[in-house]
Amino acid sequence: MAETDIVAGLTPQQWDDKFYVEHVQGNRFSGEMGADENAVIQLKEELSDKPGDSITYALVNRLTGAGVTNGGTLEGNEEEMDQRSFVLSISERANAVVHTNWSAQKSAIDLREASKVTLKTWAMENTRDRIITELGSINGVAYGSASEAQKDAWLVDNADRCLFGAALGNNSSNDHSASLANIDNTADKLTASALSLMKRMARTASPKIRPIMSSSDDSKYYYICYVPSLVMRDLRADTTITAAQREVQIKMQNEKLFKGGDIEWDGIIVKEIEDIAVLSGVGAAGIDVAPVYLCGAQAVGYGIGQRWKTTDETRDYGRKMGCAINEMGDFAKLTFGTNASSDTGDLKDHGVLTGFFASVADS
């Protein structure tokens, strides 16, 4: 029986290790992914060495009591920590390609390596799309699949971390669709002023949305704001932003959270994510509106049971070679219950403030 040798190249293990690093570092959300509680996207690999299909995130809110002073009695006056939990269930996903020896013979490129590059691109885009879906999700339901009743109920619980356009008054009694209809293409574009308003909301929400510590200076804190392309266009047109950015590149040159093309304003790093979907015709006079996501620490969880891994397969007497990639893991927007009697009742988005702004196409 004849055996077919694998085309020379990187071994699967070497390739997988290299891909994992590139997967974390190379996607648009890479700078905000990390294993600690300071990360916007907190990665946990507890299931990588043990069985199970879910990972629990512990959410501990800050203490708000006054404490005791001047020799006051502390015993009996302790403050209870508000502890909540979030269970992230993981799932498996995979994709594969196959080619024949004859195709490889005719091809001017190494089809095995091309297969892995193609699968790597698919995996990274799949990761990006899942993060975007989770940022906009309504209590675990993708925004586009959520009913109006679900959106209204979500808004009731998250009114302190949701902004429609440039004014708090655009919220029409927590009616989600009516609030979107108040957004117009004049007053409700994303501006420096609206960014600062979102930051104030994040700092005064209950519980507050905790900013993330600077990667270069632990005395500085930032929020990360993800915006789609048309909203970024309008923000760049704001003269306040234009003037402020002249010194930003120098000021932020040692800040790993800041990448080329980002905008920094008032302790907010704004990043363009062109794949955030526009909501067609939902604004005033039928204009398009798009969401933006102001994120602090632990906005999204990423639970991993198995990192992206490739597998090679030869079949049909060595005439066909396939390459597959698969992962066991999932993303979820972290939410916590605010109901006094239920850990998961009256859910609030833990680290995300959602804004909706005009997103009218270029004319």
Q: What is the reported pLDDT for 257?
A: 84
Q: What is the reported pLDDT for 199?
A: 98
Q: What is the reported pLDDT for 216?
A: 73
d(CA 58, CA 83) in angstroms, rounded, equals 7
Element containing residue 83 per DSSP (H, E): strand 83-89
pLDDT, one tens digit for every residue, the chain (363 residues): 344 444 444 445 565 666 555 555 557 887 898 888 899 999 998 877 777 888 888 776 666 677 777 777 777 777 666 667 788 888 999 998 886 776 665 554 455 677 777 888 888 889 999 999 999 999 999 999 999 999 999 999 999 999 999 999 999 999 999 999 999 999 999 999 999 999 999 999 998 999 999 877 778 899 999 999 999 999 999 999 999 888 787 778 778 888 888 999 999 999 999 999 999 999 999 999 999 999 999 999 999 998 888 888 888 877 888 888 899 999 999 998 877 666 666 889 999 999 999 999 998
Residue with tokens 């979102």: 198
Q: What is the reported pLDDT for 287?
A: 98
Respond yes or no on whether the N-terminal peptide bond of residue 291 is cis (omega within 30° of 0). no
Q: What is the reported pLDDT for 107?
A: 55
Q: What is the reported pLDDT for 10?
A: 42
Q: Which residues fall within 8 angstroms of residue 320, CB to CB, at 6 or more apart?
A: 98, 99, 100, 101, 314
d(CA 215, CA 40) in angstroms, rounded, equals 12
Alpha helices by DSSP H, listed for 62-147, are: 101-106, 111-135
